[in-house]
Structure 1
């Protein structure tokens, strides 16, 4: 296969080819850019390999531009990077690698193109396009990566057990590529995942979570999670999710498999949002069901309080997985804690007070909460699903009506602590918080409107009951 017509679409390939010829270097386009070019996927990252110094080649290519081109050199890694508008060009010399069992960092030596390609993770990433005059544009494909693309198969160039033992992060990458491309994993390659799963222990949590988040951001992440589960990779870093799997039965009473339910909820969320943290809320929403599972002969299986327990578990799981401990974690925690609340509001006799409280607690995340709740309807009975969705439509309408009327979302009590202290001439104390809480409760219960006039009138009434009198103004 000759891809010269593809290379001609961007002038940089001819420029690198001419520079390489002038320097007497063999050079090639390699790796992910070649894969994406064949698959017709857009890519702005181009990797160039030469038999010689990649840094020197990058420096000479940069000189061919009249305008200044940002050049970054990483001598310790033998690489250099050029930035052209929104393109990133990385240059490296061909190399071979060897590994020690306790580390995924290789011992690197200069090598041939073939040695460079065989060290790569998968056959679809072990292809190159020649930039040399005698065969410019020719595809170099020693491991039949092109055939594996046609077969939609993830396979390692060399023996998979060695490939994964050398660099265990490649196991996560195998699942990630399978999920992103909707490919299968070759049988021998998948067997090696299971055999080497424990090797993930030498990989940092940051590298693992980076790959996991890429899986979560695929159009149907359940596929990636099923591969992680079946290969036992998930067991190595996310045991809480693994514990969701399985069905218990007592006296012919069973509960659903909460692992596969969670994956369906996750896929459902992906149909309405590409937000990573809403997807994490879907993953976490039932995470505490194993810890709260109880059986009662009268009602069967229950998971009482799993929403509160799950919210408490969220910070610890995020911290261990090296996920952010900022507002993104708090957002996930909030949705986990509230995810059952809208279900209770589907009854026709729901009160405005309950709606106000949900709006107050959810704030600006109410729309995402409703997306999660809709995604949580996973019955195989289509009529039942449709009935629940129609009920949620009613809840949505009721929430909009109450919000328009009462302006509850993210509201701050109309009377501040400073105003209470100034009105009654008292220092900071518990009584101020008590007055503010009573005013908030009165607004949420609908006893007063959410405005300063009614709030101040109630403030005076509460204060009088507590023995406080407003100070006279001179």
Structure 2
């Protein structure tokens, strides 16, 4: 076998080969599984091409396993897949495939293995290994993909314009592989991306978001975002990020390039977490700086309130990029809104009140927030970096002390809105919200104890000021 397989993998491949032999269907292992095995990367997706009916082959292979896995198939595209022992195996008949200029869906017709390899996106993904009895394990590499793997190059098997015009998402895939594998895109393929960037408009936002998230999750995401920016692709689906680029100067005073600052923050946080949404918080933490940028005489450039405006932008950007409008979005919004708070605490005498408010507002996301704040330190001045880190450590320590004493994280005020309505026999109204907020603020400010009795007494006092009397 040309590739190094485990016993389990080899057994699965031999079963597929035997079924194909019985059905007289030439059959090959192709694509990402071959690539990743040659790169010694783990891979659980096995792609199989046969010269014939891939759905029939999938059904025959499924019968060889107990319990028999379910065969999911898509007749229009002639594809089927089964799940066996932690592996997802996809079967497809060798085919020719092309996209009309206006279409997001390919026109498919039967073809040879050579046709199938020609329609692949890159030479490193156009590798095939025979599963046929006569030459089981033999490598078929018509485009020198193994050489490109050794040289760490991304190259299209055909002329780039043809490959990218057929499926424009391949332009993002080229950048994704460059980012994931730390490979370089060869000049002619790179030029093909720039020339065909406008074709991305025929691709659904969901498919774009899927590729984008894979770039965000790559070991050094800045590689992918820089290529998306320079190729002209990024502005087509995420113009707000493009707005961060560049530095403006007035009276000799300039601000930093917030696009590349954001990429540095993203790389910094990527070293510490694989959490996709925490990485998105890094991408969006300064997204409102262009909208809030002002030049003030004597002060230079300011971005007052960019965290508040940025928080308001998050739901719109998530909707635009077809990212989920659920608790993941709320998490990102929250971190964008809070990302300056720990920094501001390092610049003042830290009161217990300020610490309690930070703990209350951050809640269970406090550690994620502090990780984002640490990542936000991008100065080239190492002394400055160390000073910031020491200050953050001080904030962290104070938070630990206050939390141990007051238990504010994930805390809820002892008097609820429902209780206020019941005590005073009032409907939901602004006065109920005002009373609830006043109680919460009094406890966070240390004006009253964090207890039901103290909160109740304080509520009666505040209610009296607005002529609200409890029902006996």
Q: TM-score, normalised by structure 1?
A: 0.95
Mean Cα deviation higher: 306-315 or 409-418? 409-418
Determine if contact 2:359/2:366 at 8 Å carries over to the other structure: yes
Deviation at 1:347, TM superposition (A): 3.6
Counterpart check, 1:85 vs 2:89: no
Q: 2:3·2:34 contact (CA, 8 Å) conserved in 1?
A: no
Aligned to 1:298: 298
Q: How many residues align?
A: 471
How far did 1:97 drift?
2.0
1:122 aligns with: 122
Partner of 1:321: 321
- CA-CA distance at 1:7 after TM superposition: 7.5
2:234 matches 1:234: yes
Return 5+ residue gaps in structure 2 as ranges: none
Change (3 A) 1:7 1:252: same
Which range moved further: 291-300 or 216-225? 291-300
What is the rounded CA distance, in whole Å, between the counterparts of 2:252 and 2:425 in structure 1?
67
Q: Structure 1 pair 31/349, CA: closer, same or farther in 2 (3 Å)?
A: same
- Conserved in 2, the CA contact under 8 Å of 1:128 and 1:141? yes
Q: Which residue of 2 aligns with 1:138?
A: 138
Find the counterpart in structure 2 of residue 96 from structure 1: 96
> What's the C-alpha RMSD, in Å, of the aligned pairs?
1.7
Partner of 2:5: 6
Residue 178 of structure 1: aligned partner: 178
Q: Is the 8 A contact 1:104 1:168 kept in 2?
A: no
Q: Deviations over 1:73-119 (max 9, x none)?
A: 32222122222121111111111123311114222111111011000
Classify 1:446/1:192 alpha carbon distance in 2 versus 1 (closer, same or farther; 3 Å). Answer: same
Equivalent residue for 1:435?
Answer: 435
Equivalents in 1 of 2:424, 2:169: separation in Å? 64
CA distance in 2, matches of 1:301, 1:295: 5
2:223 and 2:444 map into 1 onto residues whose CA distance is 43
2: CA distance, partners of 1:54 / 1:88 = 15
Query: Per the alignment, do residues 210 and 394 of structure 1 end up closer, same or farther by CA in structure 2, a change over 3 Å counting?
Result: same
| Corresponding position of 1:415 | 415
Distance, in Å, in 2 between the alignment partners of 1:258 and 1:428 is: 44
Q: State the distance in 2 between where 1:457 and 1:436 align.
A: 13
User: 2:29: which partner in 1?
Assistant: 29
CA distance in 2, matches of 1:7, 1:373: 43
2:165 paired residue number: 165
What is the Cα deviation at residue 53 of structure 1?
Answer: 1.3
The residue that corresponds to 2:224 in the other structure is: 224
The 1-side partners of 2:428 and 2:290 are apart by 44
- Tell me, in whole angstroms, the C-alpha distance in 2 between the residues paired with 1:357 and 1:283: 25
Give, in angstroms, the shift of residue 424 of structure 1.
4.1
Query: In the alignment, which residue of structure 1 is the partner of 2:61?
Result: 61
SS at match of 2:5: helix
TM-score, reference length from structure 2: 0.96
1:26-74 per-position Cα deviation (integer Å, ceiling 9, x unaligned): 1111111111111111111111111111122222223334542322232
Distance 1:369 1:21 in 2: 57
Tell me whether 1:213 sits opposite 2:213 in the alignment.
yes
Tell me which residue corresponds to 2:147: 147
**Counterpart of 1:39?**
39
Do the aligned partners of 2:264 and 2:378 also contact (CA within 8 Å) in 1? yes
In the alignment, which residue of structure 1 is the partner of 2:393?
A: 393
Instruction: Please state if 1:286 is matched with 2:286.
Output: yes
Aligned partners of 2:343 and 2:469: how far apart in 1?
45
